[in-house]
């Protein structure tokens, strides 16, 4: 529908970067949920988990995405030790939220739905917060909000640009009011980044919806999205329920919001790293130059 705004990458490095540091978990075969093509696991991973036939972008874990984008070995994780607690003693379907959290932590390599830290990309420093949909649907509770804010503060402290990659179903119901307030908290933190005149690149991946879209994700100086990613405030089923309609094919996707002027570009996964490099050069050059001239004075 919409042409990709960024031309194919010239840095071939990006298309051959392994998602796993050499050791593949070894999926023998994977079925593309969109075109139903059977894909050979190794080829699929080499293709950055993108279906070669229909371009369907599978979801990436936070660490896969960091491997995809960062210079090898440059990632320094911060605040990995913050975990959610159960402030409301929330129970749904006779499962306490506290126990659900324990299970989620035990069943994944994650403590929460966001991984933060800093990396270099082509030796340019970058603070980042990468969301992971596997952890309770990437939902934003106190910890996700706090880690996003700390990533902003890290960027300010170290004078780095900021990248946030969103993947979220929205606010986390189990933390009630606390979750809702994270929308305000994260948006508020970005005013400080603005004062520090540091660029914020927001990357929307599948899915970016609800409270995350209605706060930091849509406040980027530059907003990018992966092809086909769901991008919306209200989810498709909510819209269909409220409007009593069937949504047309391709509604509330990355291409749809691009067409409606809500984001800057839809970028294929193989071009993400090179796109980031271009943007970082464009947005930080003037800053570093002015620093140099300032230092010379």
Partner 1 sequence: MAYDLEFEKPLADIEKRIINLQRKGDRLRADEHFQLQEAERELRRRTEEIYSKLTAWQTVQVARYKDRPYSADYLRLMCDDFFELHGDRAFGDDRAIIAGPARLEGETVIFVCQQKGRDFKERQFRNLGMSNPEGYRKAVRLMQQAEKFGFPVVCLIDTPAAFPGLEAEERGQARAIAESLYLMTGLRVPIIATVIGEGGSGGGLAISVADCILMLEFSIYSVAPPEAAANILWRDTAFAAQAAEAMKITARELKALGLIDELVPEPLGGAHHNYRAAADNLKVALLKHLAELKKLPVDELLEKRYQKYRNIGVFGYADAPAR
Binding status of residue 193 toward partner 1 by CB under 8 A: no
In whole angstroms, what is the distance from residue 279 CA to residue 281 CA?
5
**Per-residue interface string for the shown chain with partner 1, residues 106-125, x marking contact by CB under 8 A:** --xxxx--------------
**Per-residue interface string for the shown chain with partner 1, residues 205-234, x marking contact by CB under 8 A:** -----xx-xxxxxxx------------xxx
- 247: its two tokens: 């949504």
Of 237 and 294, which CB lies nearer to partner 1 in the complex structure?
237
Of 21, 151, 141, the C-alpha closest to 77 is 151
What do you get for the CA distance between the two ends of the chain, in Å? 51
* Least spacing, CB of residue 59 vs partner 1, in Å: 19
Residues 136-155 that bind partner 1 (CB under 8 A): 142-143, 145-146, 149
Contact with partner 1 (CB under 8 A): which of 114, 116, 168, 182? 182
Burial of residue 257 (CB within 10 Å: 0-12, 13-18, 19+) is buried
* Least spacing, CB of residue 15 vs partner 1, in Å: 25
Residue 70 Cα distances to 56, 121, 193, 272, angstroms = 23, 5, 22, 11
The position carrying tokens 């659900």 is 100
* Least spacing, CB of residue 130 vs partner 1, in Å: 14
Binding status of residue 82 toward partner 1 by CB under 8 A: yes
Contact with partner 1 (CB under 8 A): which of 12, 27, 191, 290? 191
Q: Give the H/E segment covering residue 231.
A: none
Coil, helix or strand for 253? strand
Binding status of residue 245 toward partner 1 by CB under 8 A: yes
Residue 211 Cα distances to 130, 148, 266, 271, angstroms = 16, 13, 21, 28
Of 256, 176, 260, 168, the C-alpha closest to 217 is 168
Q: How many residues bind partner 1 (CB under 8 A)?
A: 70
In whole angstroms, what is the distance from residue 105 CA to residue 112 CA?
7
* Least spacing, CB of residue 233 vs partner 1, in Å: 4
Binding status of residue 283 toward partner 1 by CB under 8 A: no
Residues 16-55 that bind partner 1 (CB under 8 A): none
Contact range with partner 1 by CB under 8 A, out of 2-10, 42-50, 121-129, 186-194? 186-194
Binding status of residue 14 toward partner 1 by CB under 8 A: no
Q: What residues have CB less than 8 Å from 91, skipping those under 6 apart?
A: 97
Contact with partner 1 (CB under 8 A): which of 2, 30, 124, 251? 251
Q: List residues near partner 1 by CB under 8 A.
A: 63, 77, 80-85, 87-88, 90-93, 105, 108-111, 142-143, 145-146, 149, 171-185, 187-192, 210-211, 213-219, 232-234, 238-239, 242-243, 245, 247, 251-252, 256-257, 260-262
């Amino acid at each position: 529908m919409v042409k990709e705004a960024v031309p194919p990458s010239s840095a071939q490095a990006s298309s051959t970067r392994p998602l796993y540091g050499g050791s593949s978990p070894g999926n023998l075969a994977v079925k593309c949920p969109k075109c139903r093509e059977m894909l050979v696991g190794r080829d699929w991973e080499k293709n950055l988990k993108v279906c070669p036939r229909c371009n369907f972008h599978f979801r990436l874990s936070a660490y896969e995405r960091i491997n995809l984008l960062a210079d090898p070995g440059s990632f320094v994780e911060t605040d990995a030790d913050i975990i959610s607690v159960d402030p409301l003693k929330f129970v749904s379907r006779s499962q306490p939220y506290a126990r659900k959290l324990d299970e989620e932590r035990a069943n994944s390599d994650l403590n929460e739905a966001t991984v933060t830290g800093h990396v270099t990309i082509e030796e340019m420093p970058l603070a980042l917060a990468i969301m992971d949909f596997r952890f309770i649907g990437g939902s934003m509770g106190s910890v996700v909000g706090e880690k996003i804010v700390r990533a902003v503060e890290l960027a300010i402290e170290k004078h780095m640009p900021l990248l946030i990659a969103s993947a979220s179903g929205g606010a986390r119901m189990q933390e009630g009011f606390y979750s809702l307030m994270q929308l305000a908290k994260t948006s508020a933190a970005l005013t400080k980044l603005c004062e520090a005149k540091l660029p914020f690149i927001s990357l929307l991946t599948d899915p970016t919806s609800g409270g995350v879209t209605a706060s930091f994700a849509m406040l980027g100086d530059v907003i990018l999205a992966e092809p086909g990613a769901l991008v919306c405030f209200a989810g498709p089923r909510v819209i269909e329920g409220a409007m009593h309609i069937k949504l047309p094919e391709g509604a509330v996707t990355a291409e749809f919001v691009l067409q409606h002027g809500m984001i800057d570009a839809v970028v294929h996964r193989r071009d993400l790293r090179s796109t980031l490099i271009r943007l970082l050069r464009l947005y930080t050059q003037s800053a570093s130059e002015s620093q140099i001239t300032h230092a010379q004075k």
